[in-house]
Amino acid sequence: MSVAIRSIEAYQRHISPHKGFCCAYRIATNEVSCSEFAKQRIANRGFFKALADIRQRFNACKQAALQLHKSSEKQRKSKGDTFMNRYCSCDPSPCCMSLPEKGAAGMGGCDGCACTPF
């Protein structure tokens, strides 16, 4: 197993569940998180061949974060409930802990390209 994959797995297991927000792409599309995507691509294509796909995915995640932020602004104005309140608090439960115990790290359930200040 490559150093890159082991590093991603360590991130998924030890950092991601504690950072308090999720991958915007995963929230928007219900697909695997960016870290899981990167891990799978590296495993299937090798590190250097996977880089272009990973970069493209991170760009898509950024766009998803912007869209989710936009929609949360509309919701906040109408209801007072925001994406940031639901998914970006310091409590990781909305994005990570609701996944099956084993599945959170395996699916890349927690990952963060989103919830950075806009």
Q: What is the pLDDT of residue 81?
A: 55
Contacts for 46 with CB less than 8 Å, ≥ 6 apart: none
pLDDT tens digits for range 75-110: 766 665 555 555 544 344 444 433 333 343 334 444
pLDDT tens digits for range 40-54: 999 999 999 999 999
Would you kindly state where each structural domain of the chain is located, as residue ranges? 3-106
Q: What is the pLDDT of residue 73?
A: 76
Cα distance from N-terminal residue to C-terminal residue, the chain: 37
Q: What is the pLDDT of residue 59?
A: 97
Band of the pLDDT at 38, cuts 50, 70, 90? Answer: very high
Total-model pTM: 0.65
Residue 77 CA, distance from chain mean position: 25
Nearest-angstrom CA–CA distance, 4 and 26 = 21
Q: What is the pLDDT of residue 70?
A: 87
Residue 112 predicted with pLDDT over 50: no
CB 38 within 8 A of CB 112: no
pLDDT tens digits for range 58-74: 999 999 999 998 887 77
